[in-house]
Amino acid sequence: MKRSLQWRFILYTAVTVFAVLLFLPTVVSELPPWYFKLIPTEKIHLGLDLQGGMHLVLEVEAEKAVESYLERIKNNLRDDLRDKGIPVGRLEREKNHQILMEVSGEKEKWEKLLSQRYGILQELSSTPLEKGIWRVTFILDPRQAEQIKKNAVDQALETIRNRIDQFGVSEPEITLQGLDRILVQLPGIRDPQRAINLIGRTALLEFKLVDEEGNLEEALKGNVPEGSIILYQRVVDPKTGGTRKIPWLLKEKTLMTGEVLKDARVAIDSQFGEPYVALEFDDIGSKLFEQITGANVKKRLAIILDDNVYSAPVIQEKISGGRAQITGRFDMKEASDLAIVLRAGALPAPVKIIEQRTVGPSLGKDSIRKGIFSTIVSAILVVLFMIFYYRGAGVIADIALLLNVLFVLGALAIFRATLTLPGIAGLVLSIGMAVDANILIHERIKEELRWGKTIRAAIEQGYHRAFVTIIDSNLTTLIAALFLYQFGTGPVRGFAVTLSIGILANIFTAVYVTRWVFDFLTLRWKVKRLSI
């Protein structure tokens, strides 16, 4: 038995020292570099409500992704019909995921093309018009439409996460809410507007040819040539800071998109000293860019981002090597943010902010102060009550209580969990549950002593009889906490994390650590009377 006491003492001491070492970086600002090589920890991270920051709920307009998909199908269908020599007139995308097509020629020929390459389109109606023209209405397969929406939300979640990671926010929380909403919490951020601009930017990069044969003035009056569109370039006057929009008449067909982009980084123009964004394409993009520039020498190629023309340089010669650049009188911050969104990829659909809250750093500090104050006050009251009511045994329970708090804080550090204001509430609740377990044990021991049992027998039976009740109450609470973590978000999860860790620490300290103290007192010190 004495040997068992020694081994248990070594084990419990080692666990306690390890918890202290884990918690130390949180309270000590400067530690030697070797410390972090030996101890796998860092300081406890504070949540949005404790250190300030920004809370956003974004809604992905997934329907726009379906519309963009149908638009691409429509453009590809027009090109395929022309390549096959099939006359096509009206070809438009309509509401409710439909495409209206007016086509002439041999019916079997265009029906074969549609069945072979456009099986995701289901024919709704087919009406013969005069002179061998057919009007056909197609609808996108509903299963395909739902899959596109789901993919758009998943891709938007990943894209936003990549952008925020490159933005440099520590411990962000980015999670899916429901079917099409994304929760974004950015603790410690100091420039909320810049973060909003970075997150919400679609970042659709396109390369289109300038329609140099069309008449821009006529197009501005409403006579836009078929197959062309009007987009604008935003130009900032460096002297006045005013902006003006320059119209461009462009070919509607997109020759290349940012999907083939490999890298985007900020560079400085050696001649004018202005920053620009240097682009590098992957292997497919390099070959495609070389083909585009080789086939359009002496023509203007517009570089477009989110329907804004950034530049439209003249292609002087075929460009190999897969490199291009975006210029536009940026400052360093604008160029850096543009490079970030291009590297992270384009959002598959626009996102809109439906909820926005900003927590100031001063409010966060006030929350920390009040949270710590409430924890200390509750702990002191519990400690005093246990000493007053259970005397010496109450001191043992208080030691277990302090160890319980230490183990929770150490676990938060090693698991890199984030401490929130509800998390502090979970810590306070775990303190109460720790005391509850000790009360059950002490009352059982007192009851056994009243029945005339010896001190050793009373301790043995007290722990044995109370164990089932302690496990039952803690286990049911732990199951509830796990469900809160699984289905909750943000503050609810913070509460569930500290409560779960607190319950596990409670079982260890209340059942095993205090039992060792009682065994030590009765076996080594031969105590004849318990102060309980």
pLDDT 10s digits, 86-97: 888 888 888 888
Choose between 420 and 449: higher pLDDT: 449
Tell me the average pLDDT across 259-268.
Answer: 86
Q: What percent of the chain has pLDDT over 90?
A: 17
Choose between 150 and 28: higher pLDDT: 150
pLDDT above 90: residue 417: no
How many CB atoms are located within 10 Å of the residue 523 CB?
14
What's the whole-number average pLDDT of the chain?
85
Per-residue confidence band for 203, with pLDDT thresholds at 50, 70 and 90: confident
Which stretches of 134-242 are assigned E, i.e. beta strand?
A: 134-140, 173-177, 181-187, 205-209, 228-236
Question: Which of these, 504, 473, 498, lies nearest to 484 by C-alpha position?
Answer: 498
Choose between 189 and 467: higher pLDDT: 467
Per-residue confidence band for 229, with pLDDT thresholds at 50, 70 and 90: very high
- What domains, with CATH codes, occur in the chain? 2-51+360-523 (1.20.1640.10), 63-145 (3.30.1360), 201-357 (3.30.1360.200)
Per-residue confidence band for 509, with pLDDT thresholds at 50, 70 and 90: very high
Question: Rounded to whole angstroms, how far apart are CA atoms 242 and 234?
Answer: 10
Q: What is the pLDDT of residue 378?
A: 83
Q: What is the pLDDT of residue 331?
A: 78
Q: What is the pLDDT of residue 435?
A: 85
342-371 pLDDT, tens digit per residue, is 887 778 888 888 988 887 666 667 777 887
Q: What is the pLDDT of residue 513?
A: 92
How many CB atoms are located within 10 Å of the residue 483 CB?
11
Structure tokens at 218: 């006529």
Question: Rounded to whole angstroms, how far apart are CA atoms 4 and 242?
Answer: 81
Question: Rounded to whole angstroms, how far apart are CA atoms 60 and 185?
Answer: 17
Question: Rounded to whole angstroms, how far apart are CA atoms 510 and 430?
Answer: 12
Of 166-170, 221-225, 496-500, 509-513, the poorest mean pLDDT is in: 166-170
Long-range contacts from 452-456, C-beta under 8 angstroms, 24+ separation: 455/522, 455/527, 455/528, 455/529, 455/530, 456/522
Tell me the average pLDDT across 132-159.
Answer: 88
Q: What is the pLDDT of residue 489?
A: 67
Q: Is the pTM of this model over 0.75?
A: no
Of 15-29, 201-215, 258-272, the poorest mean pLDDT is in: 258-272
Q: What is the DSSP letter of 511?
A: I
Alpha carbon dihedral 259, 261, 264, 269, in 10-degree steps, equals: -120
Burial of residue 142 (number of CB atoms within 10 Å: 0-12, 13-18, 19+):
exposed
Backbone CA torsion sign across 308, 312, 315, 319 = negative
Q: What is the pLDDT of residue 486?
A: 84
> What φ, ψ does residue 525 adopt, rounded to 5°?
-90, -5
Q: What is the pLDDT of residue 165?
A: 80
Q: What is the pLDDT of residue 249?
A: 95
282-331 pLDDT, tens digit per residue, is 888 888 899 999 999 999 999 888 888 888 888 988 888 888 888 767 77
Q: What is the pLDDT of residue 182?
A: 92
Backbone CA torsion sign across 41, 47, 48, 50 = negative
pLDDT above 70: residue 1: no
Tell me the average pLDDT across 246-271.
Answer: 87
Q: What is the pLDDT of residue 301?
A: 92
Q: What is the pLDDT of residue 364?
A: 63
Total residues belonging to the chain: 532
450-498 pLDDT, tens digit per residue, is 888 888 899 999 898 888 888 888 889 899 999 988 887 667 888 888 8
Question: Rounded to whole angstroms, how far apart are CA atoms 248 and 519?
Answer: 87
Question: Rounded to whole angstroms, how far apart are CA atoms 62 and 64?
Answer: 5
Q: What is the pLDDT of residue 211?
A: 94
Q: What is the pLDDT of residue 361?
A: 61
Per-residue confidence band for 13, with pLDDT thresholds at 50, 70 and 90: very high
